Amino acid sequence: MNTPSSILSAIPRRLHLQPDHPIAITRQLIESRFPGFSYHNEHFPVVTVEQNFDSLGFPADHIGRSRTDTYYLNRETVLRTHTSAHQADTFRANQSAGWLISADVYRRDAIDRSHYPVFHQMEGARTWDRSSLEGGKSLAQTIWDDVAKIPSHDIKVEDPNPTIHSERNPLQESHSAEEIEAIAAHLKRSLEDVVVAIFSAARTAATAAAVDAGGTASEEKPLKVRWVEAYFPFTTPSWELEVEWQGDWLEVLGCGIVKQDLLNNSGVPNRLGWAFGMGLERIAMLLYSIPDIRLFWSTDPRFLTQFDASRPIQRFVPFSKYPACVKDVSFWLPTSSSAAGGHGQNASATTTFGTQGFHENDVMELAREVCGDVVEDVRLVDEFVHPKTGRKSMCYRTNYRALDRTLTNQEMNALHHEFRQQLVQRLGVELR
């Protein structure tokens, strides 16, 4: 058990189901691009290790299984780290050819404006049944007919790599190249349609905000997207979709052809198809120009009343930004610990984080646990190894900033002192 009460308290919030919440509105926008799909938005977040990892083919030594990355309730039960934890069960139920799952997911992660230990994902899949083809058509032709039904677009798409590559993106033994070319085309066209809807809404909101501020709408550059080869344990071939946005390439989602073993083990060996996953917070932050992921969890009416599912997407109007309060902490790692991110043994740190040794995510978790959501970000700013003793020193900078008030130096000194003491007691470090 390494799940603190602060994380457990987030389970009832279910932001993706709250009316007029930006996460829920984003979910509904994406769902609207998949007519005929079934929606599954009520799954409880406690799942088994088998559901979260084994059913998807995660190897036994995968870093995602580590207690430094995943919240365990006991040895065999976790808070799901992705919506894919429900993929095998949904395939097994075999209730519809296409489906979407949206849910809250939990990961021990960094602290900054775009990362939070609880966030929301959407998982989608579309499969076809080889045993129920109509009109004597081949599976590939059936899928190409479905591709023709997807709305067309005029965006520029970069897709320079072949669908199948023997080393980087191999074909599965039970699939034919003709089938996979058709499925890949259906997958890519479907997700390009989603991207067009999302970024068109974002641009419309940005234009409206500029006009409301007394300016003029800037000339829009053509939207550009690109497909990049990727690797995921449960799909092959696999890709990521990136969009050029405000001068940078932004990763939007990951996807691929579902591994046939997953479908076979789910009792639907005649089916094959595609799956994708995307983070709803990233899309919502882009749609509404929300600068800090902590805002999604705010109950402040100044935030919540800005959103309405019945209106077009509108840019978030920030309320006053309160000043930051910055504090540093420097410490020596225990002599038996490995470097940051490692898994060396540390006999002195045997409480919540066990005896795996120092890991940066433990620092992040303690900051959240002790200081709550007034922590805006925590980052490593300095490290060195003593030339004589070989001991490693690390310095982390914590940026404290509340979303609703000005923090006093006195209260932050007390909070930071408690954070420092917990680093000693629970991680076995030596303060400098």
Of the residues 304, 338, 367, which one is the last residue of a structural domain? 304
Residue predicted with more confidence, 359 or 327: 327
Structural domain contains residue 40: yes
Query: Would you state the torsion angle of the CA atoms of residues 211, 215, 220, 226, taken in this order, to the nearest 10 degrees?
Result: -80
pTM over 0.95: no
Q: Are residues 120 and 189 in the same domain?
A: yes
The pLDDT value recorded for residue 136 is: 83
Give a yes or no: residue 251 inside a domain.
yes
Residue 320, pLDDT score: 78
Length of the chain: 432
Last residue of a domain, one of 304, 335, 360: 304
Q: Give dist(CA 270, CA 230) in Å, integer.
A: 26
Asked if 285 and 339 sit in the same domain, the reply is no
Domain-embedded: residue 265:
yes
Residues 210 and 99 in one domain: yes
Q: Examine the pLDDT at 269 and tell me if it is beyond 80.
A: yes
Question: Does 143 lie in the same domain as 243?
Answer: yes
Dihedral (CA of 146, 123, 232, 94) sign: negative
Residue 163 lies in a domain: yes
Instruction: Identify whether residues 15 and 119 lie together within a single domain.
Output: yes
Tens of pLDDT, residues 81-90: 999 999 999 9
Domain CATH for 359: 3.30.70.380
Number of domains in the chain: 2
User: What is the C-alpha separation between 230 and 255, in angstroms, rounded?
Assistant: 8
246: left (phi over 0), alpha (psi -120 to 50) or beta: left
For residues 272 and 417, state if they share a domain.
no
3-state secondary structure 67-130: CCCCCEEECCEEECCCHHHHHHHHHHHCCCCEEEEEEEEECCCCCECCECCEEEEEEEEEEEEH
pLDDT tens for residues 350-365?
Answer: 334 443 578 899 999 9
Residues spanned by the domain of 353: 325-431
Please indicate, yes or no, if residue 309 is contained in any of the structural domains: no
335 and 299, same domain (yes or no): no
pLDDT digits (tens, 9 = 90+) for 172-217: 999 999 999 999 999 999 999 999 999 888 888 888 877 766 666 5
User: Strand 392-400 to strand 325-332: parallel, antiparallel, or no bridges (unpaired)?
Assistant: antiparallel
Burial class from Cβ neighbours inside 10 Å (0-12, 13-18, 19+) for residue 386 reads exposed
- Report which of 151, 134, 154, 131 is spatially closest to residue 142, judged by C-alpha positions: 134
| CATH number, position 29 | 3.30.930.10
Residues 216 and 347 reside in one and the same domain: no
Average pLDDT, the chain: 90
Residues 297 and 340 in one domain: no
For residues 198, 204, 208, 209, the Cα torsion angle rounded to the nearest 10 degrees is 40
Query: What is the secondary structure of 154-172 as a DSSP string?
Result: --EEE--S-S-BTTTBPPP
Q: What letter represents residue 238's amino acid?
A: S
* 383 in a structural domain: yes
**How do residues 11-60 score in pLDDT, each as one tens digit?**
999 999 999 999 999 999 999 999 999 999 999 999 999 999 998 888 88
Does 317 map to a domain? Answer: no
Of the pLDDT bands very low, low, confident and very high (cuts 50, 70, 90), residue 337 is very low
Residues 106, 196, single domain; the answer is yes
HSE on the CB side for 201, CA within 13 Å? 22
Which candidate, 263, 265, 243, places its Cα nearest to that of 252?
Answer: 243
Residue 319 included in any domain: no
Q: For a pLDDT cut of 90, what percent of the chain falls above it?
A: 75
Question: Does 288 share its domain with 378?
Answer: no
Residue 394 and residue 262 in one domain: no
